[in-house]
Amino acid sequence: MSETHREILRAEHVTKRFGPVTAIEDITVSFYTHQITGIVGDNGAGKSTFVKIISGVEQPTSGQLFFEGRAVKFRSARDARRTGIEAVHQDLGLVESMSVVRNFFLGMEPCRGLLMDMRRMREEAERRLYEIGLRNLKSVDQDVARLSGGERQAISIGRAIAFERKVLILDEPTSALSVKETQKVFDYMRNARQQGLAVLAIMHSMRQILDIADRIVIFWHGRLIADLPNDGMDENVLAEYLHNGLPESATIAT
């Protein structure tokens, strides 16, 4: 692994059980800066449970997480966020009745005395959104309810970059988006990668995963069965993993 791809987050032998049900078992995988990792698997494969663990929503039954080489234990999503991990779920965590700028700084508002520093907030939001490629926004004072799906993703991604998160987790970032909007979101993701983030994306579309991911990790029946570089992988090969799985001996590590 080159110096530009530095290990930032690692899970070692992570298992999660809900009573008698084992959701994921013995997951060991690393994520790297300047890299987009696609996380794929059929429904019930364990990918969502795994992402909840590394973003602090759930705690592992056993195993250990490491962030920048240090063992960490997240008791909540806030713990993970403070460490440097931002998870953007399908609902995006945006308040539709509030403005773009208020959503951008939600819970992180800079103040002058007892009042929010709105001038600074507007300037910062405009600059950050412009930097990641959202350059046709009418105003950061407009309500989020008036934005397209791609523009809403831009706010969430830009917010993660602005507040110096190091890992960005996106859950179905292109769900229900048009082809044009999807390509815009891909541009935002590439921009985050260029700025040094480790970007993790759960996606169901094999074609989209192959378009955007540098690397693909595949979950099957609660196990990580493959860790593959995306160097021209064929869609049929990926489909074979997703539908039929492979024995543990066939796991490929990067």
Model confidence at 86: pLDDT above 50: yes
Establish how many alpha carbons lie within 13 A of residue 67's alpha carbon, considering only the half-sphere containing its beta carbon: 17
Average pLDDT over every residue of 224-232: 91
Q: Tokens for 149, please give them.
A: 């799906």
197-213 per-position pLDDT tens digit: 999 999 888 899 999 99
116 by Cβ neighbours in 10 Å (0-12 / 13-18 / 19+) ranks as middle
Q: Which element (helix H / strand E) includes 10? A: strand 7-18
pTM of the model: 0.84
251 by Cβ neighbours in 10 Å (0-12 / 13-18 / 19+) ranks as middle
Model confidence at 97: pLDDT above 60: yes
Most confident of the following: 124-128, 146-150, 216-220: 216-220
| Site of tokens 């300047």 | 34
* Total number of domains constituting the chain: 1
We report the CATH number of the domain holding residue 240 as 3.40.50.300
More confident residue, 7 or 132: 7
Model confidence at 147: pLDDT above 70: yes
| In-domain check, residue 20 | yes
State the DSSP code for 195.
T
| Mean pLDDT computed over every residue of the chain | 87
| In-domain check, residue 175 | yes
Is the distance from CB of 176 to CB of 90 less than 8 angstroms?
no
| In-domain check, residue 187 | yes
More confident residue, 237 or 30: 30
* pLDDT-derived band at 250, boundaries 50, 70, 90: very low
* pLDDT-derived band at 153, boundaries 50, 70, 90: confident
**Spatial separation of the C-alpha atoms in residues 223 and 46, rounded to whole Å:** 7
**Spatial separation of the C-alpha atoms in residues 215 and 212, rounded to whole Å:** 9
Model confidence at 188: pLDDT above 60: yes
Average pLDDT over every residue of 154-171: 86
Q: Which residues pair with 201 in a beta bridge?
A: 38, 170
| In-domain check, residue 149 | no
Average pLDDT over every residue of 100-108: 86
DSSP string across 64-89: EEEETTEEE--SSHHHHHHHTEEEE-
| In-domain check, residue 15 | yes
**Spatial separation of the C-alpha atoms in residues 77 and 80, rounded to whole Å:** 5
| In-domain check, residue 113 | no
Write down the pLDDT at residue 91.
64
Model confidence at 172: pLDDT above 50: yes
Q: Which residues pair with 219 in a beta bridge?
A: 224
**Domain of 12, in residue numbers:** 7-96+166-250
Average pLDDT over every residue of 115-135: 87
| In-domain check, residue 150 | no
**Spatial separation of the C-alpha atoms in residues 184 and 52, rounded to whole Å:** 26
Most confident of the following: 19-33, 113-127, 177-191, 221-235: 19-33
Most confident of the following: 58-67, 72-81, 123-132, 237-246: 58-67
Residue 117: name the closest of 106, 109, 107, 105 by CA.
Answer: 109
| SS3 assignment, position 162 | helix
| In-domain check, residue 115 | no
